[in-house]
Amino acid sequence: MNERSELLRVEDLKVHFPIYGGVLGRKVGAVKAVDGVSFTIRTGETLGLVGESGCGKSTTGRAIIQLQRATAGRVFFDGTDITTLRGKALRRLRPKMQMIFQDPYATLNPRHSVGKIVGEPLKLQGLMRGKELEERVAELLKMVGLNPAFARRYPHEFSGGQRQRIGIARALSVNPKFIVCDEPISALDVSIQAQVVNLLQDLQEQFNLTYLFIAHDLSMVKHISHRIAVMYLGKIMELTDRNTLFEDPLHPYTQALNSAVPTPNPALERKRKRFILTGDPPSPANPPSGCVFHTRCPLVIDECRTQIPELREIFPGHFAACHLADSKGSSKIAL
């Protein structure tokens, strides 16, 4: 992956939602959904983004492709700072960046046929009409493993897995370079999840697509991703390649997540010790001082309570935001 060019760069991205209260409805605070996130994604790469529910993963994905305006920070796509774009300039860029949504039951218009759903982006961009559009829709349905004759049917006639394939076809219709996959398999049966992930991998290889794959299932993220970023309460805790993240995690939060992933070998599973985090994640409306993880961390020291740890490179390509993380592995939890 190192020889590939950089497609996306996210610098200190923040998304804060204001909280209003009082008789006059004044701003009394903010929900810090994303609070200073930075990473890069190379062309043809899949970056997995994992973390507990409510940590800001989906908001990060939406802010990157400008479905949600960022409070601060910059997003560079192909060298262009897209956070500064508005109107026509942003619409011209839209075909290059698409999104596959989490719930295939809620994201397809029940009043529209499959053909209209898949072909609508092409019409909106003024790219195709008439017979040419029909042929393109048929081609897209074949591409995702569906019968082209399904173009005349409606979403309620399909299973969850088939609906997600329709959503993938819609995302592919305008030939994007980058796709945000926002938990695209979490609403599907386990038996269908692997089929959809394999489809995404085949399409990536065929069209040199670049993915941000958002999920909370670590085993599935390991299967599809080249690198993985671990997120907690709006911040990146650790970022490295997939094998290193599972074999030698540096951040205590990542280690706790890893300990919860079952192994397929029953003998090894019986011998494993698990570390279970106590308590609930703090509210993003009132995050703790210092390291946001210190209220649940078993290795917490005084410095953690007062100073925000920088996401720094401990080993080449291996970043961690922990005061104790170093090349000697001093941030390891004793499991």
For residues 242 and 218, is the Cβ–Cβ distance under 8 A?
Answer: no
Structure confidence by residue, pLDDT tens digits, 247-263: 899 999 999 888 877 67
Q: What is the pLDDT of residue 1?
A: 46
Average pLDDT across the chain, whole number = 90
- Predicted TM-score (pTM) of the model is 0.91
| For range 8-33, the mean pLDDT | 92
- Distance (Å, whole) CA 143 – CA 140: 5
Band (294; pLDDT cuts 50, 70, 90): very high
- Domain boundaries defined on the chain: 6-232, 249-335
Q: Which residue has the tokens 């939406």?
A: 62
Structure confidence by residue, pLDDT tens digits, 99-120: 999 888 888 999 999 999 999 8
pLDDT of residue 146 exceeding 80, the answer is: yes
Beta strands at 26-42 and 46-50: parallel, antiparallel or unpaired:
unpaired
Q: What is the pLDDT of residue 298?
A: 87
pLDDT of residue 272 exceeding 90, the answer is: no
What is the end-to-end Cα distance of the chain in Å, rounded?
33
Which spans in 94-241 are helix H?
Answer: 114-124, 130-143, 160-172, 190-207, 218-224
- Distance (Å, whole) CA 64 – CA 76: 9
- Distance (Å, whole) CA 148 – CA 168: 15
Band (284; pLDDT cuts 50, 70, 90): very high
Q: What is the pLDDT of residue 335?
A: 47
Give 6-232's CATH code, choosing from 3.40.50.300, 3.30.2290.10, 1.10.1200.10, 3.40.190.10: 3.40.50.300
Structure confidence by residue, pLDDT tens digits, 305-320: 999 999 999 999 999 9
Band (303; pLDDT cuts 50, 70, 90): very high
CB within 8 Å of 313: residues ≥ 6 apart: 319
For residues 284 and 33, is the Cβ–Cβ distance under 8 A?
Answer: yes
What's the CA dihedral at 88, 89, 90, 94 to 10 degrees? 90
Return the higher-pLDDT residue of 180 and 220: 180
Band (2; pLDDT cuts 50, 70, 90): very low
